[in-house]
Structure 1
Amino acid sequence: MLAYYLFNLPVASVIFALTIGLSIYVFANPQWYGKLMLHPYSISRDKKYAYLIFTSGLIHKDWMHLIFNMITFYYFGFGLEAIFVAQLGVLGHVMFAVLYIVALVLSDIPTIMRHKDNYGYHSLGASGAISAVLFSYILFNPLTKLYIFFALPLPAFLFAGLYLVYCIWASKNSNDGINHDAHLFGALTGLVLTILMFPGIINHFIGQF
């Protein structure tokens, strides 16, 4: 089974393993949080800290944060890479990597702009990139059932609409410490990049209903 994933879905496999491995390492060595978390104040003043955009997407706050993101990635990330490969052949691996990396970067730009003068603000987690993966997958399979809280089934397209509305509201009103901007702009990045990569995806999406 492991060989199957590594051979057929190598990009998702590497992202999955690297994220889990580095997150677990930081759990055991918390002094690394300060070296790897997104820190908009530092990035806005010295571009040498731009690497934090990437490293912050590979670590998580705690086990619950990591498990939730990795379950989502497992169900949709591997499936999306397979879809890309089915559509584009070997190039699909590259395009999946592009989508994930670009979404990781773009999902953090609004956060950097918003908190560039806030020295005490930090952020971490792969949620922005994973939101991009999820929304890209939904464009291909809008009627897939997503189980909210592992119990309530919703068609994927309906979940997507509710998710965007919630993220917009939470970005303006919530004080729960969650980076809702990253979720929102990651999801939007996933939609835009998928439409650019697959111009016929909108007709495919509509045709599923």
Structure 2
Amino acid sequence: MHPVLLIIIAVTAIFSYRGFSDQAFFRKYEFHIGSIRAGEHLRMITSGFLHADFTHLIFNMLTLFFFAPVVITYLGTIHFVIIYFGSLISGSLLSLYFHKNDYYYRAVGASGAVIGVLYSAILFDPDGKVGLYFVIEIPNYIFGIGYLLYSIYGMRTRTDNIGHTAHFGGAIGGYAITLAQVPSMLYENTLMVILLAIPIILLFILEKSGKL
């Protein structure tokens, strides 16, 4: 395992484990709209190192373990770190934007950062396979588009406790940062760039029309 990836997984696991048993610690560093709007902006990053439970933690870290090497191979360590933390912040910013008036809104998890890395990997390897539930294999690009559309649905219905907004924001971050770092993708992989942009455009159309 690449040292930087190992460090991110280890720190996240340690931080999350502390949060499982220390409620005060958990509340101090979680994403909480009221606290962030009161000036505690560091929560927008620290919340990405907390998880609700072991299942949440393991799923995110396994996803990162499988897809981070693709990004590291193509871009190197520094750019991988930029995408990881850029996606984490992008997810937090989108959550803050959509929930800015819900002062009690809380969230935790590295999902925004992990999804950002996943979408970066999809841009580099769209025809690779994602093991859905570790059983059904589907192409990366189908998973990517489907996940974004599902996230829009989740944001509209709000019938579960999944932080779809952070997931979507992370995907946007990973997508945008990767294209900024490798602009040649715009003409070398034009179809995939356009396909992944469609759900992002749809999100903002729905938001502007008041349907989210």
Q: Shorter chain as normaliser: what TM range?
A: 0.7 to 0.9
2:27 corresponds in structure 1 to 34
Alpha-carbon contact 1:139-1:202 (below 8 Å) kept: no
**1:37-61 C-alpha deviation (Å, 9 max, x unpaired):** 0011221232xx1110111000100
- Name the residue aligned to 1:19: 12
Q: Please, which of 49, 54, 63 is the counterpart of residue 72 of structure 1?
A: 63
Matching of residue 180 in structure 1 with residue 164 in structure 2: yes
Alpha-carbon contact 2:19-2:50 (below 8 Å) kept? yes
Q: Distance in 2 between matches of 1:13 and 1:203?
A: 34
Asked whether 1:10 is paired with 2:40, we answer no
User: Tell me, what secondary structure is at the counterpart of 1:50?
Assistant: coil
1:118 and 2:111 are equivalent in the alignment: no
The number of residue pairs the alignment matches comes to 192
Distance 1:102 1:183 in 2: 13
Listed as ranges, the gaps of 5+ residues in structure 1 are 86-92
Q: Which amino acid aligns with 1:33?
A: F
CA RMSD of aligned residues (A): 1.7
- For normalisation by structure 2, the TM-score amounts to 0.85
SS at the partner of 2:31? coil
Give ranges in structure 2 of 5+ residues lacking alignment. 193-212
- How far residue 197 of structure 1 moved from its aligned partner, in angstroms, is 0.1
1:60 maps onto 2:60 in alignment: no
Q: How does 1:43-192 map to 2 (within 5 A)?
A: 43-46=36-39, 49-85=40-76, 93-192=77-176
Q: Distance in 2 between matches of 1:121 and 1:110?
A: 13
**Partner secondary structure for residue 141 of structure 2:** helix
Instruction: Say if 2:32 and 2:43, in contact at 8 Å, map to a contact too.
Output: yes
C-alpha contact 2:47 2:110 (8 A) present in aligned 1? yes
